[in-house]
Amino acid sequence: MAARNTRLMRCTPDDLFAVLSDGWLYPVWVVGAARMRDVDEEWPQEGSQIHHSLGIWPVMIHDETEIVEWDPPRRMRLRPEAGILGRGVIRIDARPHEFGTAVTIVEEPVSGAAAILPSLLWKPLLVARNHECLNRLAFLAEGRREEREARELDHRTETPDPAQGTPSAQAQADVREAGV
């Protein structure tokens, strides 16, 4: 029985996968990941890994997370391994939605200490953690959307012709509208 969370994000699936494709951002959105140690050059190709640490200094566990499936802008599957805590499976699904992207994280421990405990103990913890992971991921992905929109707006903005020294049509309209 896996832990499942869904959140609506005000971004496109491409914005979400731009964040997921940057392995160095993993500890920014994953609760419990304290720092990155390395990211395989091939990331996010299937079979590549990120190497990070869990916990708080001085008690840190080195963890490796492997990409099992990379299918942007629809799905990413990960296989984290955290020493004695064991191995898990994580699936992140993105579906276009009228107001952005519906993102679902499904996570389940499959070996180690967490897997031998009843789901009654680990499932509420994973649901709470992944709720915050989705909030952090939304913050990053929605920021990408805002950056992209600002760049697109920059490219559409008319600028004065320096040779003629005249303001753009948009600037003239703004001045007329302001009554200046």
Q: How far is CA 3 from the centre of its chain?
A: 18
Residue partners of 159: CB distance under 8 A and separation at least 6 = 168
DSSP string across 59-77: EEEEEEEEEEEEETTTEEE
pTM, two decimal places: 0.79
Rounded to whole angstroms, the Cα distance separating 95 from 45 reads 21
Half-sphere exposure (Cβ direction) of 5: Cα atoms closer than 13 Å: 20
Q: Which helix (H) or strand (E) holds 83?
A: none
Residue by residue, pLDDT tens for the chain (180 residues) are 899 999 999 999 999 999 999 999 999 999 999 999 999 999 999 999 999 999 888 889 899 999 999 999 999 999 999 877 789 999 999 999 999 999 999 999 998 877 888 888 889 999 999 999 999 999 999 998 778 777 777 766 555 555 556 666 777 777 777 776
CATH number for 3-178 (one of 3.10.20.30, 3.30.530.20, 3.40.1350.10, 3.40.50.300): it is: 3.30.530.20
Rounded to whole angstroms, the Cα distance separating 98 from 83 reads 41
